């Protein structure tokens, strides 16, 4: 009886983890597609577009990235 109860608990925990979503309807065990990661050059382009760096700094860092 003890082994059956432990087996039941194991199955219950597995099913909970499999079907319990993280709020987005996806299973915890299958998170889906990974979050895209930006390349350093993409980050640099965005910083230049926002005006965080000037043209000279952009060109210098772009040459370093390539």
Q: How confident is the model at residue 36, as a pLDDT?
A: 76
**What is the Cα–Cα distance from 65 to 47, expressed in whole angstroms?**
14
* pLDDT tens-digit map of 34-49: 767 889 999 999 999 9
pLDDT tens for the 66 residues of the chain, in order: 688 888 888 888 877 776 665 555 555 555 666 767 889 999 999 999 999 999 999 999 999 887
Q: Which residues are within 8 A (CB) of 53 and not within 5 positions of it... i.e. 6 or more apart?
A: 44, 47, 61
**Reduced to 3 states, what is the DSSP secondary structure of residue 63?**
helix
Average pLDDT over the chain, rounded to whole? 80
Overall pTM surpassing 0.75 (yes/no):
no
> What residue spans define the domains of the chain?
1-31, 36-66
HSE at residue 25, side-chain half, CA atoms within 13 A, is 0
């Amino acid at each position: 009886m003890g082994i059956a109860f432990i087996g039941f608990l194991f199955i219950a925990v597995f099913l909970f983890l499999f079907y319990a979503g993280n709020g987005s309807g996806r299973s915890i065990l299958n998170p889906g597609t990974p979050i895209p990661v930006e390349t350093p050059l993409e980050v640099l382009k965005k910083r230049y577009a926002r005006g965080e760096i000037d043209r000279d700094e952009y060109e210098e860092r772009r040459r370093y990235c390539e």
